[in-house]
């Protein structure tokens, strides 16, 4: 079951408690109980899966659960009962209830095409709240806000500055095999993606500084055995941002695992130009977006991907 959920925090809890679980799992967190239940569901391989607010947990665990469900349950019929918009946005059909009655029932894309639909209004409301536009009227103010309190070891979403072209950063299989998982943009703008943490090359620093080397790591776990630390990889003639990197240990062996955040106009961009090896010859280039097979994948590019940061 642990192998199915790939959740190291859950494993640590079981080991710590000597495999003992008190009644109703009271000695586990809500997120750990949810992951345990999900593992049981995956092992049963039921053809129909009903999820009633299955991801009503903290943001980090929510991202892990959503990712596992989307990857492991592709061949199942999933009925999702949810209040969080991003939980249902990837569904084939959406049934929206209002005052106990069916208000709308259609594909999400068709509902979004109708601006007066209930679903479109919910999406708009969620987006405004998610990005808190009322607090940051100008790009300068937005950039200062999202950088001011950026600290090491804290979960953040990396979001696009340009709206209408996808959501936050997440993981997906873009190759002919399930693993490794590459770094992509979520398909829908309302999806913040999966939270990440930053670890500077100088571990004594508690804040994230521009123009310095950092490891970037997705919080939680995945269906792959590899780590969720970002690394640069060459695939199909492109330098793509993928996972499976090594955290820390700066030097020649980890040269592909370090990224920087640079100021760009009134916002920020991600850059690959590691300086953890004085005698290594490295590529220095911006991280941009490559649209391929319906995916918005992170690759090295001449056109930078403008980003902002939001605490998860």
The reported pLDDT for the residue numbered 92 is 85
Residues 269/306, Cβ–Cβ less than 8 Å: yes
- The pLDDT of residue 111: 83
* pLDDT, mean of residues 159-177: 86
Mean pLDDT on 287-300: 90
Rounded CA separation 289/305 (Å): 6
Give the C-alpha separation, 130 to 145, whole Å. 14
Residue 141 has pLDDT above 70, yes or no: no
Strand, coil or helix: 175: coil
Q: How far apart are the first and last CA of the chain?
A: 27
Evaluate whether 80 touches 88 at the Cβ level (below 8 Å): yes
- Would the pLDDT of 146 be above 70? no
Compute CA distances 158 → 1, 30, 304, whole Å: 31, 25, 14
Q: pLDDT-derived band of residue 208, with 50, 70 and 90 as boundaries?
A: confident
Round the CA-based radius of gyration of the chain to a whole number and report it: 20
For the segment 89-117, the average pLDDT, to the nearest whole number, is: 84
The pLDDT confidence band at residue 59, using thresholds 50, 70 and 90, is low
The rounded distance, in Å, linking the Cα atoms of 290 and 306 is 14
Per the listing, tokens 């659960």 go with: 65
Confidence of residue 197 (pLDDT cuts 50, 70, 90): very high
186 burial type by CB count under 10 A (0-12 exposed, 13-18 middle, 19+ buried): buried
Q: Among 71-75, 108-112, 223-227, 305-309, where is mean pLDDT lowest? A: 71-75
Give the position of tokens 């939270």. 195
Q: What is the mean pLDDT of the chain?
A: 79
According to the model, what pLDDT value does residue 64 have?
Answer: 63
Residue whose C-alpha is closest to residue 82's, from 43, 109, 134, 119? 119
What number is the average pLDDT over the span 235-258? Answer: 93
pLDDT score of 145 more than 70? no
Q: Residue 245: which pLDDT band, with cuts at 50, 70 and 90?
A: very high
Among 31, 4, 24, CA closest to 13: 31
Angle subtended at Cα 178 by Cα 191 and Cα 271, rounded to the nearest 5 degrees: 55
Residue with the bigger pLDDT between 256 and 122: it is: 256
Mean pLDDT, residues 184-202: 89
**How many angstroms from the chain centroid is the CA of residue 249?**
24
Q: Which of 12-21, 146-155, 266-275 has the lowest mean pLDDT?
A: 12-21
Max mean pLDDT among 32-36, 160-164, 169-173 falls in: 169-173
266 within 8 A of 280, measured Cβ to Cβ: no
Give pLDDT, residue 301. Answer: 94
Average pLDDT over residues 181-196: 89
pLDDT at 86: 64
* Whole-model pTM over 0.85: no
Tell me the mean pLDDT in the region 144-150.
55
Which domains, from first to last, does the chain contain?
2-131 (3.40.50.300), 136-311 (2.80.10.50)
pLDDT tens-digit map of 8-54: 444 443 444 455 677 777 777 666 677 777 778 778 888 888 887 65
Q: What proportion of the chain, given as a percentage, has pLDDT over 70?
A: 76
């Amino acid at each position: 079951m642990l192998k199915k959920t790939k959740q190291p925090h859950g494993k640590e809890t079981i080991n710590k408690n000597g495999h003992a679980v008190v009644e109703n799992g009271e000695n586990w967190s809500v997120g750990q109980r949810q992951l345990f239940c999900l593992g049981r569901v995956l092992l049963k391989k039921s053809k129909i899966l009903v999820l009633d607010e299955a991801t009503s947990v903290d943001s980090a665990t929510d991202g892990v659960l959503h990712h596992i469900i989307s990857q492991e349950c592709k061949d199942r019929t999933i009925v999702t009962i949810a209040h969080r918009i991003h939980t249902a946005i990837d569904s084939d059909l959406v049934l929206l209830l209002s005052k106990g009655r069916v208000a709308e029932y259609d594909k999400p894309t068709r509902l979004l095409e109708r601006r007066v639909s209930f679903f479109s209004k919910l999406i708009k409301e969620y987006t405004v709240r998610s990005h808190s536009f009322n607090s940051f009227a100008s790009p300068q103010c937005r950039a200062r806000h999202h950088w001011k309190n950026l600290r090491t070891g804290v979960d953040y979403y990396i979001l696009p500055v340009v709206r209408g072209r996808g959501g936050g950063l997440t993981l997906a299989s873009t190759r002919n095999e399930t693993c490794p998982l590459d770094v992509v943009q979520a398909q829908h703008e309302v999806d913040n993606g999966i939270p990440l943490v930053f670890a500077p090359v100088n571990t004594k620093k508690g804040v994230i500084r521009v123009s310095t080397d950092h490891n970037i790591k997705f919080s939680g776990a995945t269906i792959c055995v590899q780590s969720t630390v970002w690394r640069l990889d060459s695939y199909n003639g492109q330098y793509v941002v993928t996972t499976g990197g090594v955290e820390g240990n700066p030097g020649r062996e980890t040269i592909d695992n370090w990224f920087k955040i640079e100021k760009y106009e009134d916002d920020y961009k991600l850059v690959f130009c590691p300086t953890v090896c004085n005698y290594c010859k490295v590529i220095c280039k911006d991280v941009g977006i490559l649209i391929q097979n319906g995916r918005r994948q992170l690759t090295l590019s001449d056109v930078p991907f403008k980003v902002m940061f939001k605490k998860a």
